[in-house]
Amino acid sequence: MMGRGMARGLLLLVCIGLALQGLWPAIIAPPASDSVAWLILTQSSLPRLAMALLAGFALSLTGEVCQRIFANPLAEPGLLGLSDGASLALSLCLLVAPGLWQAAPGLVAMLGAGAALILVLAIAWGPGLQAQSLLLAGVMVSLCSAAAQALLVLFNHDFLQALLLWQAGSLVQSGWGAGIRMGLQILPVIAALFLMQRPLQLLALGDGAASGLGVDVRAAKLILLGGAAWVTAAVMATLGMIGFIGLAGPALARGLSGRARPGMVQAGIWGGVLLLFADQVARILSGLVGDVPVGAASGLFIGPLLVMLSLRARRLGLPERGVSVAMRPLRRANPVVPWALALAVPVLILAALILGRDEGGLILHGIADLAGVVHWRMPPLLLAGGAGACLSLSGMILQKVLRNPLASPDLLGLGSGAGLAFALALIFLPGDSLISRYLVTGIGAGATLALVAALGLRAGLAPARVLLIGVGIGSSAHAFLVLVLAAGGPKGAALLSWFSGSTGGADLAQAMLPWGVAGLALALVLMLHRWFDLLALDDAIAQGRGLALRPARGLALLLAALTAAAGTIALGPVSFIGLVVPHLAASLGYRATASAALISALIGAALMILAQSLGAMLAWPWPMAPGLICAMICGPWFLWQIRRGAA
């Protein structure tokens, strides 16, 4: 194994080398102070280097702050809904007041991020400002704003391109002005964050211990989160979305320092180095293949980085045990619920078949229309329902086995993998040769699955490591996707509709496929439910009861991945359902694996059928993606549940 010192040295050397490569012409022959080369050096190259270091430092530092507050290695300011809030605000602004977008996009992004943060805080507001409520609320706000934005984009393709560019992030600079402005905005706040280092350390001991040591837990969290949000929003407003540094910087610092808590400075410095590296590679790539935005490039590298860390690092500094979520836990399971849900599925399908809409408003279809209605409406309805059941089951299995309440099917990177395959097929294959999007997305999901499985096996299938591997591969695939989208031009719109979860173009046989997968998976889960109950507890306990951990966990993850693949292929990468539905089942009192699996599958199916039928009518004659509808309906309801649990 490579020594840590060597790894550190090597990374620094490579970064310096890359930076020098860019500056080399200027170094061997210093240009005259009035030449164009001089102008490029002082007004573009050097500011860009400084910007990369500064932004990387800031993003990684705020990531570290969030990870400590939440005691979750997947936490970063983006999880609090900041990026998606900013993105939604920008889309709205572009649509309603394009003038403002021209004048001050940074201000708009800041406002959006601020609104998202305030919403999250308001929802999770309670005595201790509980970490798990905050995280869940953040993820939900983030998903809802993403859904709202996707709806806006679907109906207004024209401004797609400007937004996509912003989302891809760029460090290209012209002069020192932007960097200095950003520095002035964030440096005082970063200084304040450093002053909060001690309370932050105490918060890592848990709320109880921290307040016992005299920390005002709520105030400390407010200040820290507010500061982190400000810094992130400022960087985002200046440079666009540069994801993953907040996640990968601290992870890199942990891996290189060999300590579970590397400290804010270390995290910041390695974040800066990482972004510099990504940006330099993006610069060199741009020279070869055309514009490669750094946000995407950093995603490309961070995937392999996270995978490597999860394979190599002896201690990840991650909790290996589950974290519980503060929802109202004590409701007793009502025996009516399963029957009601089982009945709801056919009733909803029937209602969706009978009810229709035309120019005049709502109409009821008679027997005469039935053949046509069934022919047109049945496949998408069934497809949505089956995919909902699949994704919900997959989410439930993952949350149990990985012992993380934020685990969801897209965490395994399947959605991004399938999307990437689809995007590549759309762009590189001639139009007619695209036989079926199911085939293409199936291949993409399958390849991703094989990759995650192979790497996961090498990491011994330890939950925290599998999580990191999934996130890593997902982020790389996503980065590729953003690149392809940004380069894709008009074809981006077709992709976007797939991404928001659309059900068009299925025939009845295809629509039954996800039902088959869901049924099989459900049967397996019911049969093996004791494995899942034991796996969800703790390795020592499960092993002490005679469970062979690796085969059990391997099979559980495979099952989760297959259902996720089936759902994703049918519907597109809809993360919402898989994340939320298991929590819904738990809040109804169904927590033990057997009942939770059944209830989750039923809720998922019913929700997606409802969403599909609403989507067909709301904006008639334009169909709206059921995945988005689902997020728009359930999101607020779920947020309210978190609110009740937090109060």
CA 587 to each of CA 148, 224, 410, 627: distance values in angstroms, whole numbers, following the listed order:
26, 30, 22, 22
Of 251, 250, 242, 264, whose CA–CA distance to 192 is shortest?
Answer: 264
User: Toward another protein, which CB reaches closer, 111 or 313?
Assistant: 313
Of residues 74 through 133, those in contact with another protein by CB under 8 A are none
Of 575, 201, 246, 627, whose CA–CA distance to 408 is shortest?
Answer: 575
Structure tokens at 9: 């040295």
Contact pick of 204, 308, 337, 537 for another protein (by CB under 8 A): 537
Residue type, 303: G
- Phi and psi angles of residue 333, each rounded to the nearest 5 degrees, phi first: -65, 130
User: Toward another protein, which CB reaches closer, 258 or 504?
Assistant: 258
Alpha helices in 156-293 (DSSP H): 160-168, 177-195, 197-203, 207-212, 217-239, 245-257, 264-289
Beta strands in 473-559 (DSSP E): none
User: How near is the Cβ of 538 to another protein at its closest, in Å?
Assistant: 4
User: Toward another protein, which CB reaches closer, 591 or 643?
Assistant: 591
User: Toward another protein, which CB reaches closer, 174 or 324?
Assistant: 324
Contact 484, 423 (CB under 8 A): yes
User: Toward another protein, which CB reaches closer, 97 or 527?
Assistant: 527
User: Toward another protein, which CB reaches closer, 375 or 545?
Assistant: 545
The region of 113-121, 305-313, 540-548, 568-576 touching another protein under the rule CB under 8 A is 540-548
User: Toward another protein, which CB reaches closer, 369 or 538?
Assistant: 538
643 binds another protein (CB under 8 A): no
At 363 the three-state DSSP class reads strand
Neighbours of 155 (CB within 10 A): 11
Contact pick of 99, 335, 540, 621 for another protein (by CB under 8 A): 540
2 binds another protein (CB under 8 A): no
Contact pick of 30, 127, 290, 544 for another protein (by CB under 8 A): 544
DSSP notation for 555-594: HHHHHHHHHHHHHHHHH---HHHHHHHHHHHHHTT--SHH
At 383 the three-state DSSP class reads helix
List, in sequence order, every residue forming a beta bridge with 363; answer none if it has no partner: 356
Contact 154, 500 (CB under 8 A): yes
206 binds another protein (CB under 8 A): no
Structure tokens at 532: 């899942």
User: How near is the Cβ of 329 to another protein at its closest, in Å?
Assistant: 5
User: How near is the Cβ of 600 to another protein at its closest, in Å?
Assistant: 15
Contact pick of 3, 28, 32, 314 for another protein (by CB under 8 A): 314
365 binds another protein (CB under 8 A): no
User: How near is the Cβ of 553 to another protein at its closest, in Å?
Assistant: 13
Contacts of 591 (CB under 8 A, 6+ apart): 585
538 binds another protein (CB under 8 A): yes
Binding mask 454-473 for another protein (x = CB under 8 A): --------------------
User: Toward another protein, which CB reaches closer, 14 or 537?
Assistant: 537
CA 212 to each of CA 2, 200, 206, 215, 571: distance values in angstroms, whole numbers, following the listed order:
42, 14, 10, 7, 49
322 binds another protein (CB under 8 A): yes
User: How near is the Cβ of 549 to another protein at its closest, in Å?
Assistant: 8
Distance from the first to the final alpha carbon of the chain: 49
User: How near is the Cβ of 274 to another protein at its closest, in Å?
Assistant: 27
User: Toward another protein, which CB reaches closer, 342 or 547?
Assistant: 547
User: Toward another protein, which CB reaches closer, 285 or 537?
Assistant: 537
334 binds another protein (CB under 8 A): no
The region of 90-98, 431-439, 457-465, 525-533 touching another protein under the rule CB under 8 A is 525-533
Of residues 564 through 623, those in contact with another protein by CB under 8 A are 586, 591-592
User: How near is the Cβ of 391 to another protein at its closest, in Å?
Assistant: 23
Contacts of 365 (CB under 8 A, 6+ apart): 353, 354, 355, 356, 373
545 binds another protein (CB under 8 A): yes
Contact pick of 114, 533, 584, 607 for another protein (by CB under 8 A): 533
User: Toward another protein, which CB reaches closer, 593 or 612?
Assistant: 593
Buried b / exposed e along 88-115 (16+ C-beta atoms within 10 A): bbbbbbbeeeeeebeeebbebbbbbbbb
Q: How far apart are CA 313 and CA 440, in angstroms?
A: 35
Contacts of 11 (CB under 8 A, 6+ apart): 256, 273, 277
Q: Which positions lie near another protein, rule CB under 8 A?
A: 314, 321-322, 324-325, 329-330, 527-528, 530-531, 533-534, 537-538, 540-541, 543-548, 552, 586, 591-592
